[in-house]
Amino acid sequence: MIRSLLFYTLILVSFCLQAQTDSLTNELFLLPDLIFESSRELPGGRSFALKVRQPIDHKDPSKGFFYQKAYLYHKGFDRPTVMVTEGYNLRRHRTYETTKLVNGNQIQVEHRFFGKSIPDSLDYSYLNLEQATADYHHIRQLFDKLYTGKWLSTGISKGGATTIMYRYFYPHDIDVGVPVVAPINDELEEDRIYEFLDEVGTADCRAKILEIQKAILSRRDEVVPLIKYFAKGAGAEFSYLEYEQAFEFAVLEYPFSFWQWGSDCDKIPAVDSPTDTLLEHFLAVSDITFFSDGAMKAYASHYFQSAQEFGYYGYETDELKGFLKTFTPGTRPSALFPPNKQEVPFKGELLKDVNKWLKKDASQMIYIYGANDTWSASAVKPRKNIDSEWFFLEGKSHGDARIKNLTDTERTRLVAAMERWLGEEIE
Distance CA 129, CA 349 (A): 12
pTM for the whole thing? Answer: 0.93
Contact (Cβ atoms closer than 8 angstroms) between residue 354 and residue 362? no
One-letter amino acid at 260 equals Q
pLDDT at residue number 45: 87
Pairing outcome for strands 45-55 and 34-42: antiparallel
Distance CA 39, CA 47 (A): 5
Residue 156's φ and ψ, nearest 5 degrees, are -120, 135
Distance CA 397, CA 393 (A): 8
pLDDT at residue number 10: 44
Of 253, 234, 250, nearest in space to 242 by CA = 250
Distance CA 407, CA 154 (A): 20
What is the gyration radius of the CA atoms in the chain, in angstroms?
A: 24
pLDDT at residue number 103: 96
Each residue's pLDDT tens digit, 356-398: 999 999 999 999 999 999 999 999 999 999 999 999 999 999 9
Distance CA 91, CA 26 (A): 26
b (16+ CB within 10 A) / e for 88-115: bbbeebebbbbbebbebbbbbbbbbbbb
Report, as ranges of residue numbers, the positions in the chain whose pLDDT lies below 70: 1-21
What is 31-187+349-422's CATH superfamily?
Answer: Alpha/Beta hydrolase fold, catalytic domain (3.40.50.1820)
pLDDT at residue number 3: 54
pLDDT at residue number 21: 60
Annotate 103-169 with three-state secondary structure.
CCEEEEECCCCCCCCCCCCCCHHHCCHHHHHHHHHHHHHHCCCCCCCCEEEEEECHHHHHHHHHHHH
pLDDT at residue number 19: 52
Domains of the chain, by residue range, sit at 31-187+349-422, 192-341
pLDDT at residue number 11: 47
Question: Cβ atoms within 10 A of the Cβ of 62, count?
Answer: 7
Q: Which long-range contacts (CB under 8 A, 24 or more apart) does 222-230 make?
A: 222/275, 223/247, 223/275, 223/278, 223/279, 226/275, 226/276, 226/279, 227/279, 227/283, 227/288, 230/279, 230/283, 230/288
pLDDT at residue number 329: 82
Beta bridge partners of 107: 72, 83
Query: What sign does the dihedral 28-32-38-40 (CA atoms) show?
Result: negative
